[in-house]
Chain A
Amino acid sequence: MNQYNTYVLAVEDDRQIRNYICYLLNTEGFRYTAASTGEGALSILVSEPIDLMLLDLGLPDIDGMEVIRKVREWSDMPIIVISARDQDKEKAAALDLGADDYLTKPFSATELFARIRVVLRYLYKQNSGSKVQSSLQVGGLQIDLDKRLLYVDGSETHVTPMEYNLLALFFKNIGKVLTTKQILKEIWGIGYGSDTQALRALMAGLRRKIEKNPAKPRYILTEIGVGYRLVDE
């Protein structure tokens, strides 16, 4: 697999982890380069045709957030942030700032490639200008975006219009994390930005219709402190 000849920049100050990421990228046939500082990353970004960036948030020189902000001034390239477990606030902030997804250290090869696969899928779909499919499927869930219908394990399942909107939003972002803030804005619109309880209630209702056990969800996973993610199968 040559991964569409994708050119990846890995920004990570810890040498061991940088080597690990580079090794993994190499085994999967990516072209890659690496930087250990924010300034180093920015100078590569302006001089080389980078397609995708893996960005550690805890850099020694400039804040990872600052790197995202700068890059977003001129590029929509996918950015996957890498952070430690107790940086949930930073993670959510980075995502709201325009990062596409995140990884928590320690992460496995499987997790890294799952994230890369998802962001690349959207990148190339966007670039090829292909239309959004009207019928999408994840496991036993199938959604018909034209007719606004939902099938769970083959049988049509009734959901409320709000629940449908929520699920449709996830189907447009399969495998990608959506922050609470992003979801609230999409479903309720600007101005309802802080009513997370309404979202929790809506999610609980939806889960009771699509999941066998809402506390062991198969489809929509909770990312504590960040948001939700529809699994990518």
Chain B
Amino acid sequence: MLKSITKSIIESVMARFLTTHAKQNAVEAREKEAGTKILYTLTNHLTDAADIHDIAGIATNAISKMLNSNVGCLWFDTNGKPEQTFIQQVSPQKRIHRKIPDVDALLHRIEGLKTDYDIGTEFYDWPIYGRETTLGLIRVPKETAKAMSESQTRMLHAMIESTALAMDRFRAMQQRIKFNEEIAQERFRGNLLRSISHDLRTPLSGIIGTSEMLLNMTAKDDLRYPLMAGIHKDANWLHSLVENILSLTRLQDGKLVLNKQEEAAEEVVGAAIRHISRHYPEHEIAVHVPDELLLVPMDAKLIRQVLINLLDNAVKHTTLQDEISVSVTKDVERNYAVFSVRDSGEGIVASELPNIFQMFYTSRVKHSDAQPGIGLGLPICDAVVKAHGGRITAHNRTDGPGVELIFTLPLEVKDHESI
């Protein structure tokens, strides 16, 4: 008897429990379904958002609806600083802008946050965390926040998550656009410089040729001879400047294309010396190359330009009696080809050494007979050598007067190297 009573009690309790449980399940399922719907609508709207302001508005609207409250949203700019105002939903169709009394204090609290949200005087603030930075805050009125159910809290988290994704996506797109614009601008500048240089080159060739022709027609003691020689010399200088600018625009063209091949170091050095000797026939240049052929992966034209610039620099800073030498050696240990150009001229003032590879830097020590320089030669050397994965350095010689400029080129091209 007792047994049967106990059994019936247990059964009724069980039945009751099971019904409640089923009811609860049904409520949760409904809530879940409603939640999914809200999230789906939010995400849908967010994809149509035109900017951060729009995203904030959509999020505020959706969260307010979900919590049946007047939620606010504050967003941070691209530098991670909060805006001075935030928006707040005041009715289903209306949002207002409100000033934040002490932005810095708020930011400070958010940065030091150890819990999910910050408790302020009017709002509880939930940060919107992006992939890299905090993107903003969702501000829930204190009374609403305190009364939130567990499922509402879960929902809030999910909605903030969606908002963060949308903001991140928008920021990334914005950055990509900005980056592309910068590249386009850089390319435009490069192309402009390039076409100007191209256009300069043809008439310069004409001036060089014609002035040389006139020189050949004129006696050396003729008063007009030095005038023509001046034209010829300046035109030559302008021409080499144009060539340098053209190398530079190739390097900064956004997409750097090195035409790398295994080249014989001695051939490139030989070609550079031949060029310099044509312009300065009276200067003697000593050369030392290894007995064994040294093949170096390089863009031969650009490295020849580097050597020409270094030799030109050496010639300009020396007198005819000074020695100029070029040498190539192999650094077996580090697997480098080492090119060195030395002169025995007056050297470089120690304080200027760190600056000589900077664009548009010219030595403040003026030479009465030197060509005007805009300091393009050495920066181009620097850029070209770096593009090859090498290094260029300059120092005053310790074994006597003069300067030594050394650059290295790796002998092995790494497989993953992309240029």
Residues of A that sit less than 8 Å from B by CB: 14, 16-17, 19-20, 23-24, 84-86, 88, 105-109, 196-197, 200-201, 203-205, 207-208, 213-217, 221-225
5 tightest Cβ-Cβ pairs between the two chains A and B? A16-B206, A106-B205, A204-B293, A105-B205, A106-B208
- Bound Cα distance A196, B297 (Å): 13
B209 touches A20 (CB 8 A): yes
| Residue from B213, B266, B271, B273 whose CB has the most chain A CB atoms within 10 Å | B266
A129 vs chain B, min Cβ distance (A): 36
In the complex, what residue of chain B is closest to A84 when comparing beta carbons? B201
Chain B residues, CB < 8 A from A14? 202-203, 205-206
Nearest chain B residue, comparing its CB with the CB of A82: B205
Given A204-B266, A222-B270, A222-B271, the answer on whether A107 and B246 have CB atoms closer than 8 Å is: no
Known contacts A86-B301, A200-B295; A109 and B216 CB within 8 A of each other: yes
Taking a contact as CB atoms closer than 8 A, the residue among A84, A201, A203, A225 that contacts B300 in the complex is A225
Looking at the complex, which one of A17, A205, A225 makes contact with B301 (CB distance below 8 Å)? A225
Q: Which residue of B lies closest to A14 (CB)?
A: B202
Does B274 lie at the interface of the complex (its beta carbon under 8 Å from any beta carbon of A)?
A: yes
**Which residues of B are found within 8 Å of A88, using beta-carbon distances?**
301
CB neighbors of A among B233-271 (8 A): 239, 243, 246, 261-264, 266-271
Chain A residues in 8 Å Cβ range of B274: 221
List chain A residues, Cβ under 8 A from B266: 204, 207, 214-215
B304 within 8 Å of A (CB atoms): yes
- Are A17 and B205 in touch, CB under 8 angstroms? yes
Chain B residues in contact with chain A, CB under 8 A? 198, 201-210, 212-213, 216, 239, 243, 246, 261-264, 266-271, 273-274, 285, 287-289, 291, 293, 295, 300-301, 304, 326, 328
Collect the chain B residues with CB atoms within 8 Å of residue A222's CB: 264, 267-268, 270-271
Given A213-B287, A216-B273, verify A105-B301 contact (CB < 8 Å). Answer: no
Among the listed A17, A107, A200, A214, which residue makes an inter-chain contact with B262, where contact means beta carbons less than 8 Å apart? A200
Contact B270 A215 (CB under 8 A): yes
A sample of 13 cross-chain residue pairs with beta-carbon separation below 8 angstroms, ordered by A number, consists of A16-B202, A17-B202, A17-B206, A88-B301, A106-B208, A203-B264, A205-B293, A207-B266, A208-B291, A214-B270, A214-B289, A223-B271, A224-B267
Residues A224 and B287 in contact, CB atoms below 8 Å apart? no
Across the interface, name the chain B residue whose C-beta is closest to A108: B212
Residue of A nearest to B267 (CB): A222
* Bound complex: CA A208 to CA B209 (Å): 36
A216 near B263 with CB under 8 A, answer no
Whole-angstrom distance between the alpha carbons of A106 and B212 in the complex? 11
Contact B213 A204 (CB under 8 A): no
Assuming the contacts A105-B201, A106-B205, asked whether A201 and B293 have C-beta atoms less than 8 A apart, the reply is yes
Contact assessment for B301 and A16 in the assembled complex, using a CB-CB cutoff below 8 Å: no
Is the pair B202, A24 in contact by a Cβ cutoff of 8 Å? no
Q: Identify which of A86, A201, A205, A207 gathers the most chain B CB atoms within 10 Å of its CB.
A: A86
Whether the pair A109, B203 counts as a contact (CB closer than 8 A) is no
**Contact of A215 with B289 at beta-carbon distance under 8 Å, contacts A85-B243, A86-B301, A107-B209 already known:** yes
B303 → chain A, closest Cβ, in Å? 9
A14-B202, A17-B206, A200-B295 known; A24-B273 Cβ under 8 A: no
CB contacts (< 8 Å) of A107 on chain B: these are 205, 209
Report whether A224 and B209 are in contact in the complex, using a CB–CB cutoff of 8 Å.
no
Q: Which residue of B lies closest to A89 (CB)?
A: B259
Hey, which chain B residues are within 8 Å of A207, CB to CB?
266
Measured CA separation A80–B264 after assembly (Å): 27
Q: B202 to A196, Cβ gap below 8 A? A: no
A19 vs B202: C-alpha distance in the bound complex, in angstroms?
A: 13
Cβ–Cβ contact A216 & B270, under 8 A: yes
B80 to chain A, nearest CB (A): 46
Pairwise interchain contact B210-A16, C-beta atoms closer than 8 A: yes
Q: Name the residue of chain A whose CB is nearest to the CB of B207.
A: A16
Closest-by-CB residue of A relative to B204 is A106
Measured CB to CB, the nearest residue on chain B to A201 is B293
A84-B198, A224-B268 provided; 14 other pairs, C-beta below 8 A?
Answer: A14-B203, A16-B203, A16-B207, A86-B246, A105-B205, A106-B209, A196-B262, A200-B293, A204-B266, A215-B266, A215-B328, A216-B270, A216-B273, A216-B287
Q: Is the CB of A224 within 8 A of B261?
A: no
Q: Which residues of B contact A86 (CB under 8 A)?
A: 246, 301
A108: chain B residues at CB < 8 Å are 209, 212
In the complex formed, the residue of A with least CB distance to B291 is A208
Residue pair B273, A200 in contact (C-beta under 8 Å): no
In whole angstroms, how far apart are the Cα atoms of A213 and B203 in the complex?
A: 37
Tell me the complex Cα distance, A214–B271, Å.
Answer: 11
B293 proximity list for chain A (CB < 8 A): 200-201, 204-205
Q: With A88-B301, A204-B293 known to touch, is A215 a contact of B204 (CB < 8 Å)?
A: no
List of B residues within 8 angstroms of A109 by Cβ: 209, 212-213, 216
List the A residue with the shortest CB-CB distance to B235: A106
Contacts of A84 in B (CB 8 A): 198, 201-202
B210 surroundings in chain A (CB, below 8 A): 16, 19-20
Residues of A contacting B198 with CB < 8 Å?
84
Contact A215 B209 (CB under 8 A): no
A109 to B270 CA separation, bound complex (whole angstroms): 23
Per the bound structure, the CA–CA distance linking A128 and B261 in Å amounts to: 43
Complex CA gap A197/B297 in Å reads: 11
B209–A196 touching, CB < 8 Å = no
What is the CA–CA distance of A106 and B211 in the complex, to the nearest angstrom?
A: 12
